[in-house]
Structure 1
Amino acid sequence: MEERAWRIAGGAALLDGALRRADLALAEGLVAEAAPDARLLDARGLLVLPGLVDIHGDAHERSLQPRPGIGFPVDLALRDTATQLLGCGITTAYLGVTLSWEPGLRSLETWRLLMAALDAARPGLAPDLRVHLRFEADNLDALDDALADIAAGRVHLLGFNDHTPSIVRKLGSEKEVAKYAGRAGMAPAEFRVLAERVAARRGEVPAARERLAAAARAAGLPMLSHDDASLEDRAHYRGHGARICEFPMAEAVAADARVHGEAVVMGAPNVVRGGSHLGWASAAPLAERGLVTVLASDYHWPALLEAPFAMARRGRMDLAAAWALVSANPAAAAGLGDRGALRPGLRGDVVVVDPAGPSVVAVFSAGRLAQLTAAGAARLG
C-alpha cells in the first residue's frame, strides 16, 4: 500500500450519478478537490468508480475451510481474504460470519478465533473489513458472546438467521445430513442427536432474539432479516428494528419492504447466473423495478463487480444506476455516510476498471494504492 496524493486522470468517472470524463484527486485518504504534487495514474479508456461495498459475503469460509473438515489458520485465511477482496474491487467488506450451534466452521470457537484475528490484522489490511454477525436463532449457548461483542464494537451489522427448522426437516436425508455433518466435523449420527437437542430448546428463542435486538439498538447497529418467507416474517423482524430485508423468498416480501422504505438485498451471483440457484426470485428484474436496492457477493466475491455490467447489458438500467446497487446503496443501508460516491470529503475508495473485461486495473482504499495490475503499473506517471 502506498500513501500519497494521487491524480487519476482522463477516465470516465462516476460523478453525481453519471459517467463523464474527468480527473479525480485523492489526498489525505479522501477524495479531494485537487491534489498538488500528486502522482499520476493515466485512466484514459478506463472507468473510475466508487469502491464496492459488500454488505454480505461469506466466501472467506473457503479460506478457513477449503474442504469439509480441513481447516487453516485464521490469520492466513484473513490475509487471503483481503487479497481476494481487493482483486475484485471490494474496498468495504462485511464478512458474513455465521455463529451457529454447529461445531467446526461456524462454531463459537471459530467465532472467537476470528474476532481476535480481525482485531490483530485490521491495521495491516487495506480493505475495511467489518463483521456481519449472522446469528443462528437457536444458538442459545453463544448468546452471551454475541452480546459482549456487540457491546465491544466488534460487530457492525446484525443479521437474524433461522435455519434450524429447515435443518431439522432434512434429518431424514442421508445426503443432507452428511453435508451438514462434514461441515461440522462430526459423524452423521452425532449431528442428528445434536440438532434434535438444539431444536428441543426452541421455546427460548424469542427472548434471546429480543435481547440481541435490544443490544443492537443500544449500539446503533443496522439489523437485517434473512430469508423472509412471508409478510409476517418481515413484520416480525421490522418490529425488532431490522430495516434491511435480505434475500426475500417472495416478491411480495420485497415489495412490502420497499413500501416501508427498507433496503432489499439479493445476491450478485443471482444476477450474473441469470437466476437463483435455489429457484427463488430472480434479482435482476426486481432491481430494474426498484424492488431490490442492494446486491451482495453472497458466496462469490467476483460476482459483485460483474453484476452491474450484467445489469447494464440487459438494457433496462445504465451502468451508473447499476453501480449504485453495489456501492452507494449498500453504504447507505449500512449507515456508512462517508463512502459509496466520488465526492470531495468522502473516503478515497476507488476502483479503476477496464470495461472490456470487466477487470480491475487499480484499487485505492482510503486514498492509498492497494491493488495494481501489470496493466495498471504501465499507466503510472
Structure 2
Amino acid sequence: MDWTLTDGTVLKDGALAKDALALAGGLVTEAPAPGAARFDASGLLVLPGLVDIHGDAHERQLQPRPGVDLPVPLALRDSAAQLIACGITTAYLGVTLSWEPGLRSLGAWRALKAALPTARAHAATDLRVHLRFEADNLDALEEALEGIADGSVHLLGFNDHTPAIVKKLGDPVQVAKYAGRAGVKAEAYRALADSVIARRYEVPAARARLSAAAQAAGIPMLSHDDATLDDRAHYRAHGATICEFPMAEEVAADARAAGEHVVMGAPNVVRGGSHLGWASAAPLAERGLVTVLASDYVWPAMLEAAFAMVRRGVLDLPRAWALVSANPAEACGLADRGRLAPGLRGDVVVVDPATAAPVAVFAGGGLAWLAPGAAVRLRR
C-alpha cells in the first residue's frame, strides 16, 4: 500500500519544515501515488527511520537469564517486534563470536545464522549482522570467513577482550560473571581462557585473513574499544574505517581527523555518562568527535538520545537526528537510507514532539507499527 503523510513537520535536506511526505513502491517519492492511503501527521515530526550500527539487546531474548536459553526463532521474532516499535528500521545485530561457550559461542552463531533468513523475511526492520569477532577465537575463524563470503555478515567488528579477561581471572566475582554467561564452572572457565591466550601468536595472521575477506566482500569494518593511537592506526591499516567506543578522547580525535566515523552508545547520552566510567558521549558529539550513536544494549535509547541531545541546547534536531540516522547509514555504506529524499527507502518514524515517543513507523514504504490510539490518524 502506498502512503501520504500529511501536515507533519518533515526533516528533509537537513531542515525541518511543514510538508507532506509521499511513499510509493517502497520508496520516498516526489508526489503521492493515485489512491494512496493517508496518515494525518499534524502536530507530529516525520523523521528518517533509525539506523542502529551496533545493538546486542537481542541477547536478552536469546538468554533472558544465565543458563536459560530460548529458541532462536522466537528470540529473533521478539527482537524484531521490539526494534520496529522503537523506530529502528535498520538494525545491525551485534553478534559476538567468542571462544567462550554458551551465548557467544560458535554453536550460538550457527543457530543464529540458520534462523536469520526466515527472521529477515518476516521482519519489518532490515535485520543485518554486525559480527563482533573475538581476536583469540581461532577455532571459529573458518566459519567466520564463510559467513563473510556467503553474505551472512554485513559489518565486521574487531574485538579483543581476551587480554582484559585474563587479567581478571584472579577475581572470583569477575570469573563467576563470565562463567555464568558461558554456562560452565569457574575453574573450567579459567582453564579455557588460559588455553586460548596461549595461542595469541596466531592472532595477527587470523586478523589479516578477516580483513582481506571483508574487503573482498565489500563490507565495512570497525574496531572496538581502541585504547591508544597505535590501536587505531593498527586497525585502520587493516581497513577498519569506523572507530567504535574509543577509550580515549585523543583516539576519537585522531579518527575524526582521518575522516572516520566514531561510534558511542546512546545509553551513555540518556544516562548522562558511561556505565563503565569512560568518556561522556554527549559533549563529544557536540564537539564533532562522536558522529554515530548506537543502541548498544538498549534499543529505545537511540530515539531518546537524539532528543536528549536537543535538550542540552547545543545541537538542533536535524543535527542530533543525523547521529542516529544519516551518519550510521553513511558509515555502513548504505546510500539508500538515513534521509528522506525521493528515490530513497521509505523508512520513516513519526514522533510526538511532546513525549519524544514514536506514534507510527513506516518501513520499506509500508506501515509497520502503530502506537495505541493512533489509528484515528489513518485516512483513505
TM range (shorter): over 0.9
1:146 aligns with 144
Deviation by residue 1:230-249 (Cα, 9 ceiling, x = unmatched): 00000000000000000000
1:353 aligns with 351
2:189 aligns with 191
Report the TM-score, using the length of structure 1 for normalisation. Answer: 0.99
Between the aligned partners of 1:145 and 1:111, the Cα distance in structure 2 is 9
Between the aligned partners of 1:181 and 1:368, the Cα distance in structure 2 is 44
Q: Which amino acid counterpart does residue 245 of structure 1 have in structure 2?
A: C
2:98 aligns with 100
Q: Which amino acid counterpart does residue 33 of structure 1 have in structure 2?
A: E
2:18 aligns with 21
Between the aligned partners of 1:119 and 1:348, the Cα distance in structure 2 is 22
Q: How many residues align?
A: 378
Q: Percent identity among equivalent residues?
A: 73
Between the aligned partners of 1:20 and 1:67, the Cα distance in structure 2 is 46
1:119 Cα offset (Å): 1.5
1:380 Cα offset (Å): 0.7
1:373 Cα offset (Å): 1.4
1:126 aligns with 124
Report the TM-score, using the length of structure 2 for normalisation. Answer: 0.99
1:178 aligns with 176
Pair 1:238 & 2:236 matched: yes
2:44 aligns with 46
Moved over 4 A (4+): none
Between the aligned partners of 1:302 and 1:369, the Cα distance in structure 2 is 19
1:317 aligns with 315
2:71 aligns with 73
Indicate the larger mover: 141-150 or 31-40: 31-40
Between the aligned partners of 2:52 and 2:371, the Cα distance in structure 1 is 22
2:153 aligns with 155
Pair 1:86 & 2:63 matched: no
Q: Which amino acid counterpart does residue 7 of structure 2 have in structure 1?
A: G
2:205 aligns with 207
Query: Per the alignment, in what secondary structure is the counterpart of residue 374 of structure 1?
Result: coil
Q: Which amino acid counterpart does residue 24 of structure 1 have in structure 2?
A: L
Uncovered stretches (5+) of structure 1, i.e. residues with no partner:
none
2:3 aligns with 6
Deviation by residue 1:173-201 (Cα, 9 ceiling, x = unmatched): 11100000000000111101101110110
1:256 aligns with 254
Q: Which amino acid counterpart does residue 337 of structure 2 have in structure 1?
A: R
Between the aligned partners of 1:376 and 1:235, the Cα distance in structure 2 is 50
Between the aligned partners of 2:61 and 2:55, the Cα distance in structure 1 is 13
Between the aligned partners of 2:309 and 2:177, the Cα distance in structure 1 is 34
Query: Per the alignment, in what secondary structure is the counterpart of residue 211 of structure 2?
Result: helix
Aligned with 2:302 (options 301, 304, 315)? 304
1:87 Cα offset (Å): 1.0
Query: Per the alignment, in what secondary structure is the counterpart of residue 373 of structure 2?
Result: helix
Indicate the larger mover: 139-148 or 349-358: 349-358
Between the aligned partners of 1:132 and 1:322, the Cα distance in structure 2 is 24
Pair 1:33 & 2:40 matched: no
Between the aligned partners of 1:328 and 1:282, the Cα distance in structure 2 is 22
